[in-house]
Amino acid sequence: MNWSVANRRDVDFLLYEVLGAEDLLMRERFADHDRQSLDSALDLAFSISRDILFPNARKADAEEPYLEGDQVKVSPTAKAGVNAVVEAGFIAASGDFEDGGMQLPMVVTQACLGLVKGADPATVAYAMLTRAAANMLKAHASKEQQAKYMASMLEGRFFGTMCLSEPDVGSSLGDIKSSAVPHGDGSYRLRGNKMWISGADQDISENIIHLVLAKLPDAPAGARGLSLFIVPKWHVRDDGSLGERNDVRVVGLNHKLGYRATSNCALNFGESGNCIAYLVGKPHMGLAYMFHMMNEARVGVGTGSTMAGYAGYGEALRYAKERVQGRPLGAEPGSAPVPIINHPDVKRMLLQQKSYVEGGLALCLFGAFLIDEAATQEDQEQRETKEQILDVLTPIIKSWPAEYCLEANKLAMQVHGGYGYTRDFIVEKLYRDNRLNPIHEGTTWVQAQDFLGRKVRMAGGNPFHMLLDSIRCEIAAHEQLPQTSSAADALRTVLDQATDVIAEMAALQDAGKTEAALMNATNLLFAFGHIVIAWLWLWQSRVATAALEKSDVSDERNFYQGKLAAARYFFEFEMPQVSALLCPVAGGSTVSVEVTGDQL
Amino acid sequence: MNWSVANRRDVDFLLYEVLGAEDLLMRERFADHDRQSLDSALDLAFSISRDILFPNARKADAEEPYLEGDQVKVSPTAKAGVNAVVEAGFIAASGDFEDGGMQLPMVVTQACLGLVKGADPATVAYAMLTRAAANMLKAHASKEQQAKYMASMLEGRFFGTMCLSEPDVGSSLGDIKSSAVPHGDGSYRLRGNKMWISGADQDISENIIHLVLAKLPDAPAGARGLSLFIVPKWHVRDDGSLGERNDVRVVGLNHKLGYRATSNCALNFGESGNCIAYLVGKPHMGLAYMFHMMNEARVGVGTGSTMAGYAGYGEALRYAKERVQGRPLGAEPGSAPVPIINHPDVKRMLLQQKSYVEGGLALCLFGAFLIDEAATQEDQEQRETKEQILDVLTPIIKSWPAEYCLEANKLAMQVHGGYGYTRDFIVEKLYRDNRLNPIHEGTTWVQAQDFLGRKVRMAGGNPFHMLLDSIRCEIAAHEQLPQTSSAADALRTVLDQATDVIAEMAALQDAGKTEAALMNATNLLFAFGHIVIAWLWLWQSRVATAALEKSDVSDERNFYQGKLAAARYFFEFEMPQVSALLCPVAGGSTVSVEVTGDQL
């Protein structure tokens, strides 16, 4: 098996046979690439994952970062992992050639980043945060700021952070209290306490560039009053050398369930009144800038969740083939025990994982592909359309893998039995790591509100209906396919149910009944997530069915048959749950609104 | 709130208002007890949980047991926890007065043990294992063995273990390789390697009494050839003093996701050929003896899982009332933030937890009540009937709370947001601890096979039909109740669906088609588990509705209204999932059988 975190055959299938990523090579931005250069990037991601990150992930997890004075120290194991990702150039994988980037399509970039994240999300996080911060500067910072900070970040000499949350402000960023005051010389003095800052301090990179949300004195109230600032840990002189230490201090290190190799800190800015900050872009635009990067960030979280689930699936599959225990159902007690992969319930658990992780990967890569389309299609209208469809899908991409690929990790542990409960097997760590994903980058509830409250209604509901058209188009393509036509019918039925419910909720919201519209949004999000995954399984089935007709290579036939089996599992076991999830939404269950805190 | 792990009001409600546990006081065995003495035992369990176990649980978890030579050392924190439980006399809570026990009804015993387990399952495990081993000796050992070992175990001077699994033998005990050979003096020499032995070594008790499954030279093949042996760590002289060390050694300490304060070891018996063992009861009866204790052991696991979920629910509820963040749906951005318990999605997550943990507790206490009924009802036939209904319910009691109260722990963490992901909040530990429960004491799949493969068909299906009669009787009682009649109708519909499917599967199995009958047993187990919990929620609703008519005390009314809200949540959100779970079972989905390992 050519596996490391994910099955290489599957990554190729999704990229090239399903999404047709090679078509992107005709776009001007990717003209210098060919199939071979894309494959080389994937080869590199596979080899780093297999040779460096995955084998050291448990060790990096056990060697948790610690404070020495106010300096966070990171273990050499974790450093080696981050450095491998930095040296591969993955911070700038999708970046412009002129900035030293690889200018890879986003769909290939996300596949590569997903592979290294799946191998060890905690170690790799330092590089991913740097990537996100550098992208933000690329989009909104001045040329001077880019030259001074971004270039070193893309090289991996400086790392970046995102400082949003505060001790009392998690999901409601409008309540941020950090403030920045103009100093008269173009710089600002920033004060505030930030919480949950991943990579807030470490001893890996030469410098740390914090991107901080804070309010200017003349800021309007709420989320529209936030501005974005650069706060370097060490000041950077004009010649690029490091100057004095800035007034930003670690005040506490969080100890977490998982993601242990990632330092996560509370930071105090301006305790001594001398935290020098630089405004990025225009005043009061901070949250808009953040939102601008949000689709990509959330596709990144989805891909990370998926790949953690995928890595667990691979481990469970390997273990199930090796581990001998028990007998086939109905066999004589004295007969020889068999590898546990022969037990239907073990295969059911593996199919469930496979349907979640390969379905999740299809979803995330489709999302990444939309980013490419939105950035590089020639037609302006087409670009906007693709961006809007991505807007609609983003809350699902963020939340569905976070919830269901965590479930996959739970099942991977179950396949391992007692062994899986020990820290000797990596499924234990994956289960801990992946639990973060329904919480950070917007909780599942935040995504549910975003999907039902905003995304299905944006631009008059047109983008949502374009997504529905894509799904219906796939359903129609199965009318003549005997193997999948009844699955397509089933999808049509629940899709109609879901769209009816969504229309009702949108009407309620248009009528100002926000609470009634959104009170059961989480169930709707899960239901629609399953519909999207079912659509992607239909799509994969169609491609696999066509390929099977042409292939007589045994490994290839097994691969495609496996796709059909996972799709069948999803339609037979998972699809019935969509109607069940929709029930309380359609029925307008008010129990969550009506119950009082005193009754709970 | 009188909470510690669980809501005292709820425990009283289930024991006295729902189950009518006071009726047990009329039985001869409990003649020396009255309501006050039962309440005193509960008071004690609540106070130990609140004052000792729960406050120290995170510390005990962080101070993992370690090896010093071949001796396992346990932290003083964990020792203090175990000793509190021992000193309270809970090892012998249900034991006979003549053995120094409290002779409490099992339903009160399980409530007490559940409370201490929910507060810290890992610490309390040492005492629980000792209790299980002592009960085994009470049932099957000779008077001499009882005097020599059991008495000290009930006092908590000696602790006990259960040595079943071996490195290659988890769920399939018939493959056990450990062997015992008669030595000619009534004792045996035992050899073998045991794995996953909880409490296998520690430095808390004076001695450790291992109960070990092994094969005699003339043993028949498979599970029917296992005998049960006593293997003391230190030999016990006739005067009760400790003699030489026996030939049993710790060869490795497992490091686990959770349950960290419980030492869990691999043990080698007879490395030097001198492991002296004593046969318990008759040869080849070991597994029968184990099965004899299994119902109670599995009720214990169910109660422990439930209480871990319940403890998380209590923490989430408290946090949701304290934590101020965000605004009501549709409120102005500038309005004041509110405690998060005002958000419908937070209340939904709390209702989901409440419906799981209070439903699970009703189930487990009902199971414990059946143990009392089977032990103390005057009519012999009634005793057998109750035992058989318990037999049918046991796989559900073992698995439903293990799966769904783990889900409750996941939700408790979600309510806490980022804070819940840190080790500063106990919800993180509860989530790790509870993950064990779907694995040990028979995995969920083992329970599914047991339920559909054996229990619904035992004794010609009569016990299963008696259980169905109880459920139908409750449904009938709601025909005239306007608040719950439609819920009762919904339950009747899915109950009919489920019994049809079960009858089909039983017919397949009678026809020798074991694989076709059992391949989707896990889905059936979950579906029937939800039906049983729905039944118990109908029951609780009926009691609460009647009580509401009589009560005008505000706290009491809130309590009963809360019961009705949780029942409503369960019927509106959870019941639709039963049909969805049954779909692939009823449809005879063969995908798990047909997919091959090469396709996965």
Residue B552 tokens read as: 């005008």
| Torsion of Cα atoms, B488 then B492 then B498 then B503, to 10° | 150
Strand A6-7 versus strand A158-163 pairing type: unpaired
Q: What angle do CA B408, A578, A496 make, to 5 degrees?
A: 150
Look-up of token digits 């109660």: B303
Does any CB of chain B come closer than 8 Å to the CB of residue A252?
no
* Strand A207-215 to A158-163 pairing: parallel
Nearest-neighbour CA in chain A from B457: distance (Å): 16
- Say whether A222 and B334 touch across the interface (CB within 8 A): yes
Give residues 412 to 441 of B whose Cβ lies within 8 Å of A. Answer: 413-414, 417-418, 420-424, 428, 431-432, 435-436, 438-440
User: CB A341 to CB B600 under 8 A?
Assistant: yes
CA distance B235 to A554: 62
Q: Note the pLDDT tens digit of each residue in B503-546.
A: 999 999 999 999 999 999 999 999 999 999 999 999 999 999 99
Q: Is B6 helix (H, G, I), strand (E, B) or coil?
A: strand
CB A523 within 8 A of CB B580: no
CA-based nearest residue in chain A for residue B585: A573
What is the distance in angstroms between the Cα of A116 and the nearest Cα belonging to chain B?
Answer: 22
Q: Using CA atoms, how far apart are residues A107 and A115, in angstroms rounded to an integer?
A: 12
CB-based contact B397:B305 (threshold 8 Å):
no
Q: Which helix (H) or strand (E) holds A543?
A: helix A521-550
- Chain B nearest-CA distance from A472, in A, is 23
Which three-class secondary structure state does DSSP give residue B337? Answer: coil
What kind and span of H or E run contains A10? Answer: helix A8-12
Among all residues of chain B, which has the CA nearest to that of A446? B345
CA distances from A515 to A511, A521, B349 (A): 11, 10, 16
What is chain B's mean pLDDT, rounded? 95
Contact residues for B600 (Cβ-Cβ < 8 A; gap 6+):
A317, A341, A347, A350, A351, A354, A562, A565
| C-beta atoms of A172 and B599 within 8 A | no
pLDDT digits (tens, 9 = 90+) for B282-316: 999 999 998 878 888 899 999 999 999 999 999 99
Which of A257, A438, A573 comes nearest B589 by C-beta?
A573
Select from B168, B195, B226, B257 the residue whose CB has the most chain A CBs within 10 Å, as the one to mutate to test that interface.
B257
Cα dihedral A145, A149, A151, A153 sign: negative
pLDDT of B170 reads 65
At B57-85, the pLDDT tens digits run: 999 999 999 999 989 999 999 999 999 99
* Closest residue on chain B to A265 (Cα): B422
Q: Looking at the complex, report in whole angstroms how far the Cα of residue A569 sits from the nearest Cα belonging to chain B.
A: 6
d(CA B498, CA B468): 11
d(CA A412, CA B385): 39
Q: Which two tokens stand for residue A284?
A: 């009061």
* Cross-chain residue pair B572–A584, CB shorter than 8 Å: yes
Distance of residue A155 Cα from the nearest chain B Cα, in angstroms:
31
Which residues in chain A come in under a pLDDT of 70?
1, 170-171
pLDDT at B171: 66
Angle ∠(A49,A50,A55) on CA atoms, nearest 5: 95
Q: Given this model, what pLDDT does residue A169 score?
A: 74
Residue B291: name the closest of B414, B125, B70, B442 by CA.
B442
Q: Which of residues 559-598 of A touch B (CB under 8 A)?
A: 559, 561-562, 565, 568-569, 572-573, 576-577, 579-581, 583-584, 587, 589, 591-598
Cβ contacts of B339 on chain A, cutoff 8 Å: 597
Q: State how beta strands A66-68 and A6-7 pair.
A: unpaired
Q: Which of A:210-249 have CB within 8 Å of B?
A: 221-223
Count, in order, helices (H) and strands (E) of chain B: 20, 14
Q: Measured between CB atoms, does A350 come within 8 Å of chain B?
A: yes
pLDDT at res. A175: 85
CA nearest A525: which of A455, A436, A462, A433? Answer: A455
* Total CB pairs under 8 A between chain A and B: 273
Yes or no, beta carbons of A514 and B170 under 8 Å apart: no
* Nearest chain A residue to B559, by CA: A599
Q: In angstroms, what separates the C-alpha of B449 from chain A's closest C-alpha? A: 10
pLDDT band, very low/low/confident/very high, at B410 (cuts 50, 70, 90): very high
Q: Which helix (H) or strand (E) segment is A556 a member of?
A: helix A554-569
What is the DSSP secondary structure assignment for residue A18, as one 8-state letter?
I
Q: Do B600 and A223 touch (CB under 8 A)?
A: no
CA dist A454 and A291 (Å) reads: 14
* Single-letter code of the amino acid located at A407: E
Which string of b and e fits B554-578 if b means at least 16 CB within 10 Å?
eeebbbbbbbbbbbbbbbbbbbbbb
- Is A511 in the B-facing interface, judged by CB distances under 8 Å? no
Rounded to whole angstroms, how far apart are CA atoms B80 and B91? 15
What residue in A sits closest to B343 (Cα-Cα)? Answer: A593
Q: Which sign does the torsion angle of CA A25, A31, A35, A40 carry?
A: negative
pLDDT digits (tens, 9 = 90+) for A555-585: 999 999 999 999 999 999 999 999 999 999 9
Tens-place pLDDT, residues B449-502:
999 999 999 999 999 999 999 999 999 999 999 999 999 999 999 999 999 999
Q: Which of B175, B329, B350 sits opposite A600 (nearest CB)?
A: B350
Using the Cα atoms of residue A288, residue A290, residue A292 and residue A298 in order, give the sign of their dihedral: negative
Q: List all residues of chain B from 139 to 158 with a beta carbon under 8 Å from chain A.
A: none
Domain range summary for chain B, segments of one domain joined by +: 443-588
pLDDT at B190 over 90: yes
Cβ contact, residue pair B599, A559, below 8 Å: yes
pLDDT at residue A224, rounded to an integer: 84
Of B513, B516, B500, the C-alpha closest to B582 is B500
Of A221, A422, A562, the CB nearest to B255: A422
A265 forms beta bridges with: A197, A253
Q: Following DSSP, what letter does each residue of B345-396 receive, concatenated?
A: HHHHHHHHHHHHHHHHHHHHHHHHHHHHHHHH-S-HHHHHHHHHHHHHHHHH
A176-213 in b/e form (b: 16+ CB < 10 A) is: bebbbeeeeeeebbbbbbbbbbbbbbbebbebbbbbbb
pLDDT of residue A170: 65
**Looking at residue B172, what is its pLDDT?**
74
Q: A-contacting residues of B 529-558, CB under 8 Å?
A: 558
SS3 B564: helix
Question: By C-alpha distance, which of B190, B185, B94 is closest to B139?
Answer: B94
Answer whether B435 sits within 8 Å of A439, measured CB to CB: no
| Contact residues for A263 (Cβ-Cβ < 8 A; gap 6+) | A65, A72, A74, A198, A199, A200, A201, A202, A253
Beta strands A179-182 and A66-68 are unpaired
pLDDT at B147: 95
The answer to whether B578 touches B531, Cβ cutoff 8 Å, is yes
SS3 call for A505 = helix
- Whether residue B345 and residue A445 make contact (CB cut-off 8 A), yes or no, is yes
Nearest CA in chain A to B578: A580
Q: Which sign, positive or negative, has the C-alpha torsion B477, B527, B508, A325?
A: negative
Question: Which residues from B are below 8 Å from A223, CB to CB?
Answer: 333
Is the separation of the CB atoms in A408 and A357 below 8 Å? Answer: yes
Q: How far from A314 is each of A4, A7, A41, A112, CA to CA, in Å? A: 8, 8, 22, 17
Does residue B247 contact residue B275 with C-beta atoms inside 8 Å?
A: yes
Cα separation, A419 vs A427, whole angstroms: 10
Count of C-beta atoms within a 10 Å radius of residue A539:
22
Q: How many CB atoms lie within 10 A of CB A15?
A: 25
Which of A327, A439, A600 has the highest number of chain B CBs within 10 A, making it the mutation to test binding with B? A600
Handedness of CA B118, B123, B127, B132 (dihedral sign): positive
List, in sequence order, every residue forming a beta bridge with A197; answer none if it has no partner. A265
Q: How far apart are alpha carbons B426 and B56 in whole angstroms?
A: 10
Could you tell me how many residues make up chain B? Answer: 600
The pLDDT of residue B568: 98
Segment (H or E) for A212 = strand A207-215
Instruction: State the CB neighbour count (10 A cutoff) for residue B294.
Output: 17
Which residues on A lie below 8 Å from B414 (Cβ)? 438-439, 443-444
Residues of chain B numbered 52-111 and touching chain A (CB < 8 Å): none
